Chain A
């Protein structure tokens, strides 16, 4: 496609779900969901989110809110990041219990 053709093509659709307001709403929902996870971390996780993230049924409504407000690829990205931080935290905390292993 030549440059001129690209420049003149009228493509006015804007993805509003990545603009500022949508981003803020997504971050808020995401933080609400993760704080719910932290709060109920002692409960057994029965539901499965994306990329292997497990969460208990108490957090189901916040999870739905989160998925509604963010794009699917963003949900996956944040979930993966969360799992990674959890895993490194577990490795760091486990030092006392797994001595000499």
Chain B
């Protein structure tokens, strides 16, 4: 019990509590507790020479105190040293790699190689589109309303860009419903909008792989045998001549806004290049 009282007192001392808050404890106890803290500090450097009272009565607590405090201080110092070293290490790393091409951080890195079949039954891969600006849309021919609207907007924007600004952007329609959208079907469907639109389809696995690369979500819903709708994120991707996705446009863009935004991106690219 005296040991616990000493620890209690020393704690009180450390937090600078006035010991006269507890007047019932006699002055003898105060001296003893004072000696406890002093002797602990002394212990760190040299052999204890303190008060014989303290020696006799606080032997157990002092030795345990001596064993606890230096490791704690050492541990704390070690932690500080580690943090400092870590900061130094990280600082050098950041300074070395300079952030080149900071506009790559503006958009997520999507896109990748693909191999599909176009509406003329020819095999097409992404190499064939290198050197062109491409406006890519993932849709399907059996879409009730959004699909045709988006393709119409795409066709109109491409037309505006070509006639007004003389800028060639290649429109590409990739079907996310390859089982029903055969090349012949794509040809018939896209012909009604614009002859320039390239229709791409292929086996389900190839389409799924490309959709995964471009982070396109699509899912069959309302399935009744052969009659189903495909839910998807109806968005268009603008791709630069190096086959890198520059921007993504959602359904909220109409034809004029789309052509204006594409023009902006093209101008920006010319400035950078």
State which of B31-39, B83-91, B140-148 sits at the interface with chain A: B140-148
A8 and B227 contact, CB distance less than 8 A: no
State which of A34-42, A52-60, A67-75, A91-99 sits at the interface with chain B: A67-75
B141 and A15 contact, CB distance less than 8 A: yes
1/0 per residue, CB under 8 A from B, across A11-40: the answer is 111111011100100100000000000000
- Complex CA distance for A71 and B144, rounded to whole angstroms: 9
Residues in A neighbouring B182, C-beta threshold 8 A: 11-14
- Complex CA distance for A61 and B93, rounded to whole angstroms: 75
A3 in contact with B203 given A14-B184, A20-B192 (CB within 8 Å): yes
A19 and B192 contact, CB distance less than 8 A: yes
- Complex CA distance for A2 and B206, rounded to whole angstroms: 10
Interface range, A side:
20 to 34
A15 and B185 contact, CB distance less than 8 A: yes
- Complex CA distance for A74 and B203, rounded to whole angstroms: 25
Residues in B neighbouring A1, C-beta threshold 8 A: 203
B184 and A77 contact, CB distance less than 8 A: no
B171 within 8 A of A: no
A7 and B117 contact, CB distance less than 8 A: yes
Residues in A neighbouring B183, C-beta threshold 8 A: 7, 11
Residues in B neighbouring A26, C-beta threshold 8 A: 144
- Complex CA distance for A18 and B222, rounded to whole angstroms: 17
Residues in B neighbouring A78, C-beta threshold 8 A: 144-145
Cross-interface CB contact of B142 among A11, A15, A20, cutoff 8 Å? A15
A3 and B115 contact, CB distance less than 8 A: yes
- Complex CA distance for A6 and B184, rounded to whole angstroms: 12
B224 within 8 A of A: yes
Residues in A neighbouring B121, C-beta threshold 8 A: 7-8
Residues in A neighbouring B184, C-beta threshold 8 A: 11-14
A73 and B222 contact, CB distance less than 8 A: yes
Cross-interface CB contact of B123 among A3, A13, A18, A77, cutoff 8 Å? A3
1/0 per residue, CB under 8 A from A, across B188-199: the answer is 110010000000
CB distance from B155 to the nearest CB of A (A): 13
B224 and A73 contact, CB distance less than 8 A: yes
- Smallest CB gap from A76: residue in B: B222
- Smallest CB gap from B206: residue in A: A3
- Complex CA distance for A23 and B144, rounded to whole angstroms: 8
- Smallest CB gap from A51: residue in B: B222
- Complex CA distance for A19 and B191, rounded to whole angstroms: 10
Cross-interface CB contact of B202 among A3, A14, A70, cutoff 8 Å? A3
- Smallest CB gap from B226: residue in A: A15
B229 and A18 contact, CB distance less than 8 A: no
Residues in B neighbouring A8, C-beta threshold 8 A: 121
Cross-interface CB contact of B189 among A18, A72, A73, cutoff 8 Å? A18
- Complex CA distance for A48 and B206, rounded to whole angstroms: 42
Question: B residues bordering A, Cβ < 8 Å?
Answer: 115, 117, 121-123, 141-145, 148, 180, 182-185, 188-189, 192, 202-203, 206, 222, 224, 227-229
A-B contacts besides A3-B202, A74-B144, A77-B222, 18 pairs, CB < 8 Å: A1-B203, A2-B203, A3-B115, A6-B202, A7-B123, A11-B183, A13-B184, A13-B185, A14-B182, A14-B188, A15-B141, A18-B141, A23-B148, A70-B144, A72-B224, A73-B222, A77-B144, A78-B144
